[in-house]
Structure 1
Amino acid sequence: MKKRKILFLGESYRADAITWMRGLKEFGNFEICTWELKTSNNTKSNRLKRILEYIFAPFAIKKIIRLEKPDMVIAERTTSYGFLAAISGVNTIVIAQQGRTDLWPEDSILLPLKKIIQKHACKKAHLIHAWGPVMTISMKAIGVDMNKVLVIPKGIDLSLFEASVNNSTKIEAIITRSLQPEYRHDCILKAFAILDKKGIDFNLTIVGNGSRLEHLKKLATKLNIQNKVIFTGRIANTVLPQLLKQANFYISMPSTEGVSASLFEAMACNCYPVVSDIPGNQSWIQHRDNGQLIPIDDYNKLADALIWSFKNPDLRNKAITQNQKFVEENANYKINMRIIADKYHELLDLRS
């Protein structure tokens, strides 16, 4: 396979980005160079600096293009790095929508500008990734040419995330989402406080870091469940599969979702999924069939769902078997990333 070079625009440290780039190297013989904004987006003063950096970003990107001479550019988010890719001048452009819609937050004062930027990025891109079907809804709504949209998740490495047998007689739950407000960890802790009051035994492992870490620790103490909740902090990706194999329930209650690799990872490791009832999760989970869908922020219903699932092990085991098959057929990294890499070579051949 011909050796080609890709310039990746986006946060290269993110797990999704790492999977994307690793797959292109492994299955497409691509060489990858990267560029990303250096200023974080976590404070108001930083956001202003980041906007300024973004304004001058095209000059920095043009410089790296002159030095690296990439055959194509790929980019995360149609409203940010995707736009920078669209104006980069590189002959072949691929962009990926990251969420249900990249027009987020919906009450942003910059929304009119983001709509213009997104429309231009989608028009200029030669291929647009929708990592799941829920993403195509907003694409169609803004008039994207669906002939250049590829709908397929990057998938997960099934040699790492594999099925295990968990014979625990109590709820061993795990959350692997970032500790940010949109993932609603408060709701989950309140649900487990209800379980505790009902005398239902459990362990809850909360993986990762984020702005809500200290708040959540204090909330666990306030709810008097701190002895049953483990906060791991940030961990290496190599540790995650083992933690998932020790769990029998996976919980994720985000208010918005595109495609969750963490859900696939949990399904592959035989964790029963209890997730928020939003379009991004509805693409993969059918209520009380292969998991449970819970209204956002409804900790009473979340508690009821956990109790019902725990008291129905036969239905839970049936769902686990079903999910294992689904992941193998639809979210196998080694299959999906080869398809994506081949698509890139095909695109480059057409445009050469």
Structure 2
Amino acid sequence: MKKKKILFLGESFRADAITWINGLREFGDFEIITWELKTPSNNKTNRILRLLEFIFAVFKIKKIIKTENPDMVIAERTTSYGFLAAMTGIHPMAIAQQGQTDLWPAKTVTIPFKKLIQGYAFNQADLIHAWGEVMTLTMKESNVDMNKVLVLPKGIDLDVFANQNNANPQKICAIVTRSLLPEYRHDIILKAFGVLNREGIDFLLIVVGDGTQLPILKQLARQIKIHEKVIFTGRIPNTQLPQLLQESNIYISMPTTEGVSASLFEAMACNCYPIVTDIAGNRNWIQHRENGNLVPVDDCNALAEELIWSFENKTHREQAVLINRKTVEHKANYKTNMKIISNKYHNLINLYTTK
């Protein structure tokens, strides 16, 4: 039987997209074609060029559809690729809201326009992915037909992110695995460890990844005299990440906004105790001082206090990581969840085929 073909609109190089695409190939036996905008948005000139590329993108996508004849289109981000998918007119179509809201950056002049195109994408979609409950809040505010919404994370591979931890129990071995971008507030994390350093508390902090903030963060670490205890790995292969998590006893993430974080799931799977910002996306998974710690946004002193409390309460941490592993096994198992998503796509394709 000929494989069903899906056109994926989105940044196919991102880890989140790779998980989605590979899951559909493995559990749905789909053939996947990808398309994405080529112009980066790293400066003002490129942002203008990217906007022009976006405006004319629908014609390129329609040409691909005519050539490849996909059975379905899927797209990430409701205000960009999701809108482009809606403009093609092809069905079935699934779109995914990537964060708590795709209306970002907040309080900018483009928000009213983004609301319009998001609303159009919501209305045209046959299936809307909410990777977590927190994403449904803004959907309901936008009067989305919630019968079209599938609330389910893609999950993580629990065989790769294994149930083990080899961290040094004698000191804080912390890890951060978010992109080095301003919204993830790595500076707050470094300042918190500056507090620990002044109090004579031993630690090792591993900062995984790359991004625009890397040179700034390296300079800050040197400025507050913790550079000898901080390792900036830069971009690493995903195959190296499980081992780094398993060698850490505390996972830290301090974003100002969050949808559903695969990075958090990966840490929970590897028995790494989570300390994260007290925002809606994290509260869906972490209860303060029960299975992790919640910290107010941009509060380095509070983060320092929770780091110390967590490390000193070893028995609590040991019990919490057991709970967290069971949680991801039950709710964020890639093999289970991607089978459900793949079956949903096949059902949609069959529905439109018989119409």
For the aligned pair, the TM-score class normalised by the smaller chain equals over 0.9
Q: Which residue of 1 aligns with 2:39?
A: 39
Q: Which residue of 2 aligns with 1:23?
A: 23
Q: Which residue of 2 aligns with 1:68?
A: 68
AA partner of residue 79 (structure 1): T
Pairing of 1:283-298 with structure 2 (within 5 A)? 283-298=284-299
Is 1:170–1:202's contact at 8 Å kept on the other side of the alignment? Answer: yes
Is 2:79–2:117's contact at 8 Å kept on the other side of the alignment? Answer: yes
Q: Which residue of 2 aligns with 1:261?
A: 262
Q: Would you say 1:220 and 2:215 are equivalent positions?
A: no
Q: Would you say 1:120 and 2:124 are equivalent positions?
A: no
| Partner deviation per Cα, 1:122-167 (whole Å, 9 max, x = no partner) | 0000000000000000000000000000000000001100121335
How high is the TM-score relative to the length of structure 1?
A: 0.99
Distance 2:132 2:260 in 1: 6
Alpha-carbon deviation of 1:90? Answer: 1.4
Is 1:2–1:29's contact at 8 Å kept on the other side of the alignment? Answer: no
Is 2:165–2:248's contact at 8 Å kept on the other side of the alignment? Answer: no
Alpha-carbon deviation of 1:347? Answer: 1.1
Is 1:82–1:121's contact at 8 Å kept on the other side of the alignment? Answer: yes
Pairing of 1:282-321 with structure 2 (within 5 A)? 282-321=283-322
Q: Would you say 1:204 and 2:205 are equivalent positions?
A: yes
Distance 2:199 2:51 in 1: 50
Q: Which residue of 2 aligns with 1:10?
A: 10
Alpha-carbon deviation of 1:209? Answer: 0.2
Distance 1:214 1:91 in 2: 45
Q: Which residue of 2 aligns with 1:158?
A: 158
Distance 1:334 1:250 in 2: 24
Q: Secondary structure of 1:204's match?
A: strand
Q: Secondary structure of 1:94's match?
A: strand
| Partner deviation per Cα, 1:251-286 (whole Å, 9 max, x = no partner) | 000001101000000000000000000111011000
Is 1:40–1:50's contact at 8 Å kept on the other side of the alignment? Answer: yes
Runs of 4+ in 1 over 4 A off after TM superposition: none
Q: Secondary structure of 2:88's match?
A: coil
Distance 1:62 1:351 in 2: 19
Is 1:207–1:235's contact at 8 Å kept on the other side of the alignment? Answer: yes
Q: Which residue of 2 aligns with 1:195?
A: 196
Q: Which residue of 2 aligns with 1:100?
A: 100
**Where does the alignment leave 5 or more consecutive residues of structure 2 unmatched?**
none
Q: Secondary structure of 1:49's match?
A: helix
Q: Is 173-182 or 99-108 further displaced after alignment?
A: 99-108
Is 1:28–1:338's contact at 8 Å kept on the other side of the alignment? Answer: yes
Q: Percent identity?
A: 65
Is 2:91–2:126's contact at 8 Å kept on the other side of the alignment? Answer: no
Alpha-carbon deviation of 1:91? Answer: 2.0
Alpha-carbon deviation of 1:2? Answer: 6.3
Alpha-carbon deviation of 1:69? Answer: 0.4
Distance 1:326 1:117 in 2: 36
Alpha-carbon deviation of 1:208? Answer: 0.3
Distance 1:5 1:244 in 2: 36
Distance 2:191 2:97 in 1: 33
| Partner deviation per Cα, 1:95-147 (whole Å, 9 max, x = no partner) | 00000000111122111110110000000000000000000000000000000
How high is the TM-score relative to the length of structure 2?
A: 0.98
Q: Is 157-166 or 251-260 further displaced after alignment?
A: 157-166
Is 2:269–2:324's contact at 8 Å kept on the other side of the alignment? Answer: yes
AA partner of residue 194 (structure 1): V
Is 1:97–1:130's contact at 8 Å kept on the other side of the alignment? Answer: yes
AA partner of residue 160 (structure 1): V
Pairing of 1:323-334 with structure 2 (within 5 A)? 323-334=324-335
Is 1:24–1:341's contact at 8 Å kept on the other side of the alignment? Answer: yes
**Where does the alignment leave 5 or more consecutive residues of structure 1 unmatched?**
none
Distance 2:112 2:299 in 1: 32
Q: Would you say 1:130 and 2:145 are equivalent positions?
A: no
AA partner of residue 283 (structure 1): N
Q: Which residue of 1 aligns with 2:346?
A: 345
